[in-house]
Structures are given as structure tokens and as C-alpha cells.
Structure 1
Amino acid sequence: MSTAAVPDLAVVASPWTLGPLTLPNRVVMGSMHTGLEVHDDGGAGLAAFYRERAAGGAACIITGGIAVSDEARGGPDFAVFGVDGADERFRVAVQAVHDEGGTILAQLFHAGRYALVGGMVDRHGDPQRAVAPSALPWAAARGVVPEELTASEVERTIEDFAAAARSARDIGFDGVEIMASEGYLVNQFCSPLTNLREDAWGGTPEKRRRFAVSVVRAVRAAVPDLAVTIRLSGADLMPGSTTDDEVDALVHDLLPLGLDGISVGIGWHESRTPTVQAAVPHGAWLAYASRIARVVRGSDHPGVRVIASNRMTDLRDGEAVLADGLLDAVALARPFLADPAIVSRSVDGRFDLVNTCIGCNQACLDRSIIGAPVSCLVNPRAGREVAFPVRPTTQPRRVDVVGGGPAGLAAAVDAARRGHRVTLWEAADELGGQFGLAALVPGKEDYAATVRAARAELDQRGATVHLGRPATAADLVGSDAVVLAPGVVPRSVDIPGVELPHVQTYEQALRDGVPAGTVAVIGGGGIGVDTAAFLTESPDESLRARAFAERWDVTVADDVLGPLPQRQPVAQRTTRPGEQVTVLRRSGKFGQGVGLTSRWVALGRLRDAGVRMVGGVQEYLRIEPGALWIRDEDGVERAVPADHVVVCAGQERLEHSLESALASAGVPFALVGGARDARSVDAVRATSEALEAVRSLAP
């Protein structure tokens, strides 16, 4: 781990204590469910995943949720201590972290009514139960109504937490974190929405808090020598749920019990307030952590550590957050997927090398919800470290990559990192491709950071980068391996009037802007939705943060509105009221292609802005000055106001002649991303294909 701090990170890089632990910096890797917890690989995958993050500077790692019993599992890919070799897998992972000088805490987890139990069985082969404080289902439960825990079962569940803590100690963990946030079981007991009991465990705020208090007391007694922390929701963001005063009262109740730290989360999974999507301002939830910190500092136990989390991606943000001493540390989760070395690179002053989390959720949260293997769009090695280790090659080869979009950059960086001689060819005057365009959309500015980090690493490792220089067959004939990732171009449409000067492709609109006036957007997929956001939302993150706070009636920390660095220069461009924008789609869902956990947010932003969305278009008839004529879903011809028209009708592969020339010359090559299949362009698929291709061509 790097210990020498640049002036930018004097506080972040300073040591601190968390109970019995002395930690070298104030960056915690927050809990992330990966699915590796149940892989039948002896713990190799989990160990490799955690090892890289510990080596990269994470002061303390929190595991993904480890269920305290069979019925506590959130789904089939949740581990339980003592079941199916889990203990040995975690023992190997813990040792890997310790080998790198790191520390690791086991998160003790109970899903409660959030358990997705369809088809699941317990260790005895019986159908898994879903249990909760009260028999109340939630929307994603697929019709399963949880069973209300009896009083004796509540007591047994408390002992389950204590037993799991003892197992964690025996395995070698340095401590435990009790999961009491995001709407899981402990949180469910605290809320009047999900706890309708009238016994000793419900009926009043004090009785609803009793379960959380009992769990902490039992866990502390079970492991008196380990660090014990709890993750609480600073706010549930659910109308009618636990109030701020009740959360603060819970904190007061917990402080005398021997807690070492409180990590502050936000919201429930079923909340209709966005919490982790790219549209959420950076650091938006810091005010809630600060509120809890003030409760702690004013108590009889002011030394309990308070850790802030959610929507921080740059450790310079963390420095601003910690500067006044109110908060003790910051917890980052997805940024450690994007870049395992985010801490060491930042502390060394190489912010340009940090591959930033872009908040897309596509390969992480979206996958974890459906039980698929978790990875990362901008770091396709994440979760696959065993399959794709980074070690110097013994046979350096010449590797040429055609295309500097996300797929090409992923291939080039991976090859250069392993010691191959890399040349990157990009026909445009700048790198980025579709990421460069995405970075122009309000809320997606961080996409530019992936491009910046890739260029910085390629330069650091001596790669050659040609800009404004399309590769020719003659350029590539002597190569040992060629990755073809030239990308895609906007798909053209055959509509009378499409050649008129007030008609643009989405690429032209994003790069050049759209003059004031009404706009018709042809195509309501992900690109059309992004284009509508570009037309209607401010490029200034501070203004968007204020609008976010007002829209969702939440407190956005002043840190976000003041000293935190702007990600991108604020562009001078024309925005317009949403009612001047109409997005049109023939069939399918608006925002199709946007990730599962982000689509509803993207569409909600447009609806809030007043953007009109017209589906079921039978035919685009013609474009005229001031109007786009359509045949609507009822077969009626009508004019859509359109001083300008932006075509977002999808993409098609960029045609080139390199494949046949390389095949004729016998040069090994692979086609990846949209250049291989543009019918459903998916950046997760593109970067993953690029990694797999370059490893196959240049081991």
C-alpha cells in the first residue's frame, strides 16, 4: 500500500483506528455482492478479487452480505457460513487480504422480505422460507408473501447473527458489519411500513428499534475482540417510514453497546427516489451521514467512527468530505470495481490514471439483482481476475488495436499492461468513440474519465497512439495480433426531407448542439433518451444537484454545491423547456437498452421536464420546415412541432475492408463490439469481448 500522500489527500491518506484496527488511510471498500461467494473454486475467485483491492490500497474491505442462516439469503448466490464449503472459501479470501497487509470485515446479512426464494431450498432440501417482521410482500417478491416471525423465531434470528459473528472470528475476519440498511431485515423491524407487530418487537418506535439493539448487543458479546460496525440507512426515502428523529434515536440506543463504527447508507431498494444511478449528483447523500455524525459527536460516545458512502467516485471528493473532521472515513464500493488501485493511484497523485466508476450499474447492480456474475463495464476483468490475471507476458508481441472507443481502449490497455507492444489507431481526432459522446450528456460526464485514464496508462506504458489516422491494411500486415474495434455510426433513415439542413444525427446534435426551438427526436431507445436529456438538462452539476434536491425533497450536502471539483467544463449550449422536445418511437419500450436499475430514472427525468413521449408511431411520413409528419398509433396523420429533427434510429457497423485484407495476409485478428454486431450495441458486451479477444490473440 502507498503511504506517502500528495497535498490533495492529506486527510484521506492519514491513518485512523476502527476499534482494535489501525488502518493506513480513510477509504473503506464498501460491501458488494459479487456471486463469487458461492463459486465452487475453493475461494480462488473471491481471494483474487479481494487481493487486488487490498493491494490497491483499500484500508478495510467489507464483504458482500453473508447470510446468517438459510432463510436469510437474498437469493441462491448468497453464502451462509458452514454451508457448502463457504468457510474454506472465505478463509482463503481473508488470508489473501492479510497477505497484502489489509483488513477485512464480514457483513452479516438477513434479507427478510427481500429474499427472492422462488425455487430455492435450504441445506436440508426443504423450500426456503421468506420471513419478515410482518407478512408484507414487496413488488419484486414474485408473489411470495413472507411469513411473520414468531417471538421465539425473532430470538433465534438474533442468535443467528451472533453465531455468524463467531464463525467470522473463527475464519479469521478482523471484524463484522451488521447490515441494517437498504430495507433488509433489521431495517424492516425499525420501520412502521414493514413492522405492524403489537408485541415486544413492534407497536411503538422504541419497540421497533429493539431488534436492532438486540442484534448489536448479541454480536458485540459474541466477538468482544473484533471490530463491530453497523450499516444504517440515514434515511429510508420511503413515505411513512422511519423519521430522521427515529433514526437518530436508534443511533443513541446503539452507541452504548460497544459499536466501533457506523456506516451510513441511504434508501430502500423499493424507494422511488434514485440513490446510486449516474443521474444522482456526486456525494448527494453526505448530509445524512453528517447528521448522524453530529448525533454521535454530541453523545456520551463521541469516538464511535462514522463512515459516509454513496455516489463518491473521486478521492478528492473524499478529502473535501473529511476535511472538517466531522466524518471519519468514506466507503466506496463500485469505484473499486472500476479500478482496484483507486486508492494507491490517487494517493500517489495520479488521478489521471484512475478508471472512474461511471454509475451505469449495467454489469454490477443490474446483474446482481438477477443473480448473474458481477463485473464492470469499464473494467471487464472485475470478478474475473482468476481467468484474466495481470502478469507480465513472457513473449511480448506486436498488438494493433483499430478503434479508440471503449472496446478498443479496453483491449489496448490490457495488452500494454501485460507488456505487449501496443499501437492504437483512431480515425477521429480524439479517443472515446461512443463514450466521448456519452460524456456530453448531463449526468454522464464521468464517461470521459475512462477515456482519460486509458490514454494516461497507454502513455505511461509506452504505447503508440495515432489520432486522426485510420489504419490501413499496409499498417497492420506485420502485426502479431489485431483487435478490430472501429465502432459504429448512426443509422440512416429513409424519410422524405431527411436531407434538410435542420435534420441532424444524434452524433451531430451532441457534438455541435441544437439551436433553440422545438425538437423532434426520432427513436426512443437509450440514445434517444440521452439526447432528450442533453436537450433539456443543465450541464452544470451544481444546478442539477439543486434541482435533484427539490424534485425528491431530500437534503443535498453543500459539499457538492461548493468545493468539489467539476468533472467537465460547463459547456455553453442551448437548453430548452422539456415541452419543446418530443421523443418518438415505433414500438418497444422507451429507453430500451438502458440498464434495469437506471431506465426508470432516465425516463422519470424526462417526464419531470415535460418531454413528450409518443409511442406506437406507424410511419414517419415526411420532414418539413417546422414539422415532422407521422402516422400515429390510431392511423391518423399529424404534425409534430419540429424546428429541428434529431435522428436516433440506432447504429450500424462502420464498414471497412480490413477483415478480408488481414485474412488474406494471415494476420491473426478479432472483431469486437459494435463492429462485430451493431444490432444491439452494448458497451458491457463490447469491453468484455475486447478483453477476451486480446487475451486470446496475445496471451
Structure 2
Amino acid sequence: MTSPSTAYPTARRPVAIGTLTLPHRIVMGSMHLNRETGDPGALAEFYATRARGGAGLIVTGGAAVSRVGAGGPGYALINDDAHAPVWARVTREVHEAGGLIALQLFHAGRYAHESTFGLRPVAPSAVYSRFSRCEPVALTEEGIADTIEAFAAGAARAFELGFDAVEVMASEGYLLNQFASPLTNRRDDAWGGDAARRRRFPVAVVGAVRGAAGTGPVLVRMSGADLMPGSSTPEETGALAVDLVRAGADALDIGIGWHESPVPSVQSLVPHGVWAGVAAGIRGVLAGAGAAVPVIAAGRVNTLAQAEEILAAGAADLVSMARPFLADPAIVARSFAGRPELVNTCIGCNEACIDRSFGTAAVSCLVNPRAGRELDYPASPVDVVDRVDRAQARAGRRRRVAVVGGGPAGMEAARAAAANGADVTLIESGRRIGGQFLLAGLVPGKSDFLETVRYFENELARLGVGVRLGEEVRGAAGADMLAGFDHVVLATGVRPRRVEIDHDGSARLLDYRAAFADPGALGRRVAVVGAGGIGVDLAHLLAEPAPTSAAAASLLFLARHGLAPGAEPPATGPARQVTIMRRSGSIGAGMGVSTRWAAVQAIRAAGVVTLSGVTYESIDATGVHIRHDGARRLVPADTVVIAAGQEPHAPLAPRLTAAGIPVTVIGGARSTAGLRAVEAFEEGLRAGTAAATAPPDQGTVRTREAAQHG
């Protein structure tokens, strides 16, 4: 346990942004939620929960300054009177919770979708967008003037509604960033033609916002590195930063990358803190120009320890974390209290957050499905830090709940049931809870999956859950043992699906679980049958040695993407000769939209051979005989691993039902059709809550004898 009085000393220091003093240096960054046009109470409670959890300053998801600038149908419109009551409620409830909140002023430009309001997107030039799949209309002089005025009007409205600050979105490839880049600004007039004229529009917007804000603080989210070949140079970016400050920015929040960038920026395989150097570079440029304002570092920082390291090194004045506040609203409170082991860490999976934000589904969090649903699943009455004594807590509980299986669904079911007052026992056949997260945590770039396991181990202990490891529950004896519980949640997971391929028995043939258990024993040549998410992860584990340190991981990543001047990617070949293959479909199909391309890019960079459209003929001691592109070929292999899907595993369910024991089957044990971890956690939340809050059976606890004779 870290001492609360000494934890994160730099992060704890107050800091001023313009006229606003923040209690510490951790900012909750902007996230579009697809909840801004839904239930106002739910949106307000989402932000108020993070304020109570200790966020120093909250920045909302982008509020569009005009309909044509909205990123989708779920975006708020700050200049629309109908949206004002929603934001007034948000600011009121955040302030009542003791927090500070800034509104982000947003215009998508060429990243907007015509389908949202039937309006053709606008941009500096008519340059096709692969992200929104449209060619925008180039803004006229009148359109530019109207857009600048819309930003100013949005700022004035924000302060009228009680916001403590505004942030101008000029990063991530949105409109202001588009004007600054030669890739998307091909004008030859007062608003483009050289770097100085390309800067004119974002500078004009900030100047207009400054005028409308009065003494209110103005932050600017600017792109520190577009990660787009041929876009703004570091020198041009530095000059823009200086001009934005001189136009009235009180702080610069440094964003990274565009949605069209070939370089991953937010995925789990991006090393922690790798972008802090970009913020440090801009901070240095501002200081050298006599234009110093607070600089906020952002991107792939998911713990207070990482933030403290960045701040203590002088790379930035504040650190922004967005997704980590989805995973744990109390990340600051728990960390500052000296209990970082109780923080539910963001794993960078993007499945319930970024991937959903690109569509219309409401944003949440894979490892914390309560995110955005705080009114439906209220916080536990127990304190976020204090430990619960199980013996004392049990005395007042009415329900006894057993959870069988400690994978994602089972861990969350046990947590939810305990948080809702049940006396919970979690029974897991393995030596540690975590299920397939224990496998994922071995994969390069996915070590944070093990932090999820660490969180649940500590949180379940804090909530008084009895965890029994190495215990198999099966057959009549298992049903008999479970008869004393009011409700049983079966989360016994999946088993690898068998694949019918002729083989003569001479091959070393394993399923993916055995391969993950002892990857060192697989030999130099490995063929993986199946190329979904598990196959891709296994290939990455086998092909690429883990970096020896965090610094080595960052250098490897930057060098591989040409972002480390003078550094070359390691010349060593892959750790193994690995081939993954599938009958049809894309490599990595089923993975999240923002993750799949980056994961496939990574394994190919590591030397993995990927084959789709394969017909399997046979397996023998030499490898896998296939037909591909109309020709027969051999995929040489010392070991062949089957990773071609999964099947539900819930053999105990019929016995429990026959015995009259209330049972809910969840996660992969219920069905593997379209199942991912995000659905498993959500099912765990629902099942655990329901099991704890359902009325008791006629006011009594079902006994073993009643189950046997009833």
C-alpha cells in the first residue's frame, strides 16, 4: 500500500489554467459518449460520478457548434436551444459533486457524415475522407466567417450554462486540424497556400472564442503529431502552438494522430506514455517563444504512476486521461488514497468506448459495464477504499449467491452481487481467477489485461467475496453442494472448438489453451489453424519477443513506425516461423474495428505469415497440407495449434435446473455466438445484480435437504 501522504506528489500540486485553479494535475479528457442526446439525468450522473471520484477538471465530449459540424446523430449541439437544459443540468450536478467541467467546442469538418442531418460535410478543401467515406464541400469565405462565429457563440453559451472553461477541438483530424494540414488544405487564398495561411483559421477561431469567453479559461486541443505522411512538420506544429497561445489559449491539450493515420495511437499495443515526448517538445517551443502556458499530455496513460512520471520529468504541466475514467471513475480518489491496487485499469481494448463512438451505440467500458449506466446500477454503499469485513457484512445480507467460474463474466457477476448486498462465493477450477484474460495478458501490448485480474482479486476481497480456487464443481456432487445457495450464476466459460481435419496421429497437435500454457515448448515452426482474435494474439506472442523494458518497448514502437530519428527497428528475425490461416474471411475478423487493423499490422511486422481462403487437406508430422490460391502447399510446422473458435461449456446447468436450484447461465457458457469480452462483462453485471436483488424464495434460503427432496 502506498502512503496517501506521499503518493504522486507532483500530480497532487494545484495548477492554474487562466483564471481557474485546479486542485491537482489530472484531467479527465474528452470522450464522445453517444449519450449526449439521451437521458439528461444519466448524462449528468455520468459526469458527476467522475467529479466525486476526484477528476481535477472534466472535459465533455465534443459539442458541435453547428449541425454540419456534428460527428453523428448522437452529438450535442451547443448552439441549439433545445440542448441547453441538458448541459445546465450537467454543470449543476458536477458542481454539486465538487467538480469542475469544461465544454469541448467541436466541428468534424470532413469527418462528418451526410446521413446525420442530410448536410454535405464541409472542409477547407474537397479532399475525400476515408473515415467518413465522402468528399466534402470546400468552405466559402461566408462559410468560414459563419463557422468562426459559431465557435464564438458556442463559447458564450457554454459559460452562460455554467461551464468553468471551454476547450476548442483542433486535433485528431477534425476541422481546425484539417485547415492546418497541407494534406487537407489545398487552398491558395487567405486561408491556405503556405503554413502561415493554413494556421490562420484555427488561430481566428481561438481568437473569437477568447473574445466570447471574457475572462473564462480557454483550452485548445491541438494536434501534436498528425501521424500522416506529408502532413504538418514539427516546425509548423510548433509555430501553430505559439500562435494559438498568442490568440488567447490559456492551455494546450496535445492530441495525437488522425482517424486515417497508418500509425496506431490509442490501441493497447501502443506503449504507455509513448506520446509524452510530443507534449514535451511543444512545451519547449512555447517556453522558447516566451508564450508558456500549461501543456497537457495525453494518450496511452492509464495509471497515476505513469502520469506522475511524466509530470515529474517536466514533460507536461498536466496529464489528461479519458478512457481510464470510464474504467474507474474513482481512479484519482483511490490512487491519492494510497490504494492503486483497487483501481480498475483501462486496458485500451476500445471495444465499448472508441468503437461504439464511431457509430450510434452508447459508449461504456468493457471492464466497467456500469460506465454510462450509473443510474441503472447505482454505486455500492460501501466506500470506494474501505475494506468490507465479510463476517460482519454477511450478518445483514439476505441472499447467498454462488458464482461458478472466474473468467470475465464470473468476476463481474461476483463483484456486482457483492456490491448489491449478497453473500457471495466464487468458485474457480484454476489456480487464479481471470479466465482467458490470463491468456491475453501474455500477449505483447496486452499486459494490462492482467491488471484487470489484479483489480478483481483485490476488489472481491474488499467486498468480502469468498474465492475458492482449484475446485471443480461438476456432476451430482456439484449440484448437491450448490443447493444451499439462493441463486447460482454459471460462468464456466468455453472450450476450444474441435476442427475436423484429416491427420495421421504423427503431428504435435494442440489446442490454443495448451499453446498459451507453454509457448516455449512449441518449437521453431508453428502453424495456427484459425485466425480470429485468439489466433492473432497467439501468433503475436509466438513471433515477437517481449521488450526488456518500457523504454525498449517505446523505442521499438517509434522506430517501427519511423518516428524515432536515427533509430532503426531491430534487425533480428522473428522468434519463430509462425503461420496463421483460416478458411474464409479477414485475418482477425471479430476483433474491434479500431484494433483489428493495428493487431494484424503488428503481427505482419513481426514476420507472421497470414493466409485466408485456405482449404485444409491433412495434418502430419511435416505440418499442414493445404490448398491456397488454387495450388497445393505445405505449411511446415513442428507444432500445429487449433484456434478455430470456441464452444459453450455449461454441463452443470441441467442438473441445477432439475434440482430446482435457481440458476443463470452467462458469458461463453451460455453462448459463443458473437460473444466477446464486452458482452461477458455486461452479462455478469446484469446477472450478479439480479441474483443479489431478487426477492428470496418465500423468505427462506433453500437448503440442501429441500433441494434433494423437493
TM-score (norm 1): 0.92
Task: Choose which of 107, 110, 113 in structure 2 pairs with 1:113.
Answer: 110
Partner of 1:565: none
Q: Identify the match of residue 627 of structure 2 among 609, 626, 631.
A: 631
- In structure 1, the residue corresponding to 2:656 is in which secondary structure? helix
Cα deviation for residue 298 of structure 1 reads 2.2
Name 1:420's counterpart in structure 2.
422
CA offsets, 1:634-677, max 9 Å, x none? 2x4432110111111111122422x2232233332211110000
Contact 1:91–1:171, Cα closer than 8 Å, also in 2: yes
Supply the distance in 1 between the matched residues of 2:495 and 2:553 (Cα, whole angstroms).
30
Tell me, in whole angstroms, the C-alpha distance in 1 between the residues paired with 2:584 and 2:305: 44
CA contact (8 A) 2:529 2:582 kept: yes
Q: 1:84 to 1:625 in 2, by over 3 A?
A: farther
The corresponding residue for 1:697 is 691
Query: 1:498 Cα shift?
Result: 7.6
Deviates more, 1:536-545 or 1:157-166: 536-545
Which residue is 1:373 aligned to? 362
Displacement after TM superposition at 1:232 (Å): 0.7
Show the counterpart of 1:674.
668
Q: 1:166 to 1:476 in 2, by over 3 A?
A: same
AA aligned opposite 1:683: A
Deviation of 1:18 after TM superposition, in Å, equals 1.6
> Residue 431 and residue 579 in structure 1: after superposition, are their counterparts in 2 closer, same or farther (change >3 A)?
closer
Deviation, structure 1 residue 694: 2.0
Per the alignment, residue 86 of structure 1 pairs with: 83
Over 3 Å counting, the alpha-carbon distance change for 1:6 and 1:475 in structure 2 is farther
Q: Cα 1:218–1:397, aligned 2, differ >3 Å: closer, same or farther?
A: same
Aligned to 1:341: 330
Matched residue of 1:107: which SS?
strand
Q: Give 1:579 shift.
A: 7.1
Cα drift, residue 577 of structure 1: 1.8
Structure 1 partner of 2:393: none
Per-residue deviation, residues 596-636 of structure 1 (Å, max 9, x unmatched): 011111111122222111221222412x22322223352x4
Q: Does the aligned pair in 1 maintain the 2:3–2:338 contact within 8 Å?
A: no
Select 1:643's aligned residue among 638, 641, 645.
638
Within 5 Å, give how 1:184-203 maps onto structure 2: 184-203=174-193
Paired with 2:504 and 2:21, the residues of 1 have a C-alpha distance of 65
Q: Is the 8 A contact 1:358 1:444 kept in 2?
A: yes
1:47 Cα deviation after fit: 0.7
Instruction: Measure, in 2, the Cα distance between the counterparts of 1:326 and 1:589.
Output: 40
> Do 1:538 and 1:544's aligned partners in 2 also have CA atoms closer than 8 Å?
no
CA 184–474 in structure 1, closer or farther in 2 if over 3 Å, else same:
same
In structure 1, the residue corresponding to 2:168 is in which secondary structure?
strand
Distance 1:501 1:6 in 2: 60
Give the alignment's Cα RMSD to 1 decimal: 2.0
Q: Which residue of 1 aligns with 2:556?
A: 547
For the residues of structure 2 that align with 1:28 and 1:219, how far apart are their CA atoms? Answer: 21
- Per mean C-alpha deviation after superposition, the further-off stretch among 475-484 and 461-470 is 475-484
Corresponding residue number in structure 2 for 1:528: 535
Contact 1:517 1:576 (C-alpha < 8 Å) held by counterparts: no
* Superposed CA offset, 1:74-128 (max 9, x none): 111111024373111111111111111110000000000110122x32xxxxx32
Shift of 1:208: 0.8
Q: Please give the alpha-carbon distance, in whole angstroms, between the structure 2 residues aligned to 1:500 and 1:402.
A: 37
Deviation at 1:227, TM superposition (A): 1.2
Asked if structure 2 preserves the Cα contact closer than 8 Å seen for 1:68 and 1:81, the reply is yes
Once residues 85 and 411 of structure 1 are traced to their aligned partners in structure 2, the CA distance between those partners, rounded to angstroms, is: 39
Aligned counterpart, 1:15: 14
Secondary structure of 1:510 counterpart: helix
1:243-322 equivalence runs, <5 A: 243-302=233-292, 304-322=293-311
Opposite residue 591 of structure 1, the aligned amino acid is G
Work out whether 1:148 is the aligned partner of 2:153. no
8 Å contact from structure 1 (residues 578, 606) kept in 2: no
Cα shift readout 1:433-473 (whole Å, capped 9, x = no counterpart): 01011001111110011111011011112110000012321
Query: Match for 1:234 among 208, 224, 231?
Result: 224
Contact 1:485–1:675 (Cα < 8 Å) also in 2: yes
Contact 1:392 1:419 in 2 (8 A): no
Which residue of 644, 655, 658 maps to 1:661? 655
Contact 2:357 2:363 in 1 (8 A): yes
Task: Quote how far apart the aligned CAs of 1:354 are.
Answer: 1.0
Aligned residues: 668
CA contact (8 A) 1:578 1:612 kept: no
Contact 2:545 2:575 in 1 (8 A): no
Counterpart check, 1:164 vs 2:170: no
* 3-state secondary structure, aligned to 1:452: helix
Select the residue among 582, 586, 611 that pairs with 1:614. 611
Distance 1:29 1:191 in 2: 27
Contact 2:648 2:669 in 1 (8 A): yes
After the TM superposition, which residues 583-598 of structure 1 pair with which residues of structure 2 at under 5 Å, given as runs? 583-598=580-595
Q: Partners of 2:417 and 2:469 in 1: how far apart?
A: 19
Q: In the alignment, which residue of structure 2 is the partner of 1:569?
A: none
Cα distance, 1:249 vs structure 2: 0.6
**Offset, 1:693:** 1.7
| Cα distance in structure 1, aligned partners of 2:349 and 2:398 | 34
Q: 1:207-218 maps to which residues of 2 (within 5 A)?
A: 207-218=197-208
Given the alignment of the two structures, is residue 489 of structure 1 paired with residue 495 of structure 2, yes or no? Answer: yes
Alignment partners' CA distance in 2, 1:498 and 1:445: 38
Moved more, 254-263 or 667-676: 254-263
Among all aligned residue pairs of Structure 1 and Structure 2, give the percentage whose two residues are the same amino acid. Answer: 48
- Rate the CA distance shift 1:214–1:344 in 2: closer, same or farther, 3 A: same
- Per the TM alignment, residue 140 of structure 1 is displaced from its structure 2 partner at its CA by 2.9
Residue type matched to 2:534 in 1?
A: I
Going from structure 1 to structure 2, the CA distance change for 1:4 and 1:160 (only over 3 Å counts) comes to farther
Structure 2, unmatched stretches of 5+, are 383-395, 694-710
CA contact (8 A) 2:347 2:448 kept: yes
AA matched with 1:179: M
**Once the 2 structures are TM-superposed, how far is the Cα of residue 679 of structure 1 from its aligned partner?**
3.6
1:561 paired residue number: none
Contact kept in structure 2, 1:237 and 1:266, CA below 8 Å: yes
Corresponding residue of 1:357: 346
Question: What amino acid is aligned across from residue 644 of structure 2 in structure 1?
Answer: A
Q: CA deviation at 1:325?
A: 3.4
Any conservation in 2 of the 1:673–1:685 contact (CA below 8 Å)? yes
Maintained 8 Å contact 1:591/1:599: yes
**Following the alignment from structure 1 to structure 2, what is the Cα–Cα distance between the partners of residues 297 and 435?**
45
Contact kept? 2:242, 2:291, Cα under 8 Å: no
The 5 Å alignment of 1:85-104 reads 85-104=82-101
Correspondences of 1:389-468 after superposition (within 5 Å): 389-392=378-381, 396-468=398-470
Cα deviation 1:399-452 (Å, max 9, x = unaligned): 211110011111111122232211101011111101011001111110011111
Separation in structure 2 between the aligned mates of residue 9 and residue 430 of structure 1, nearest angstrom: 31
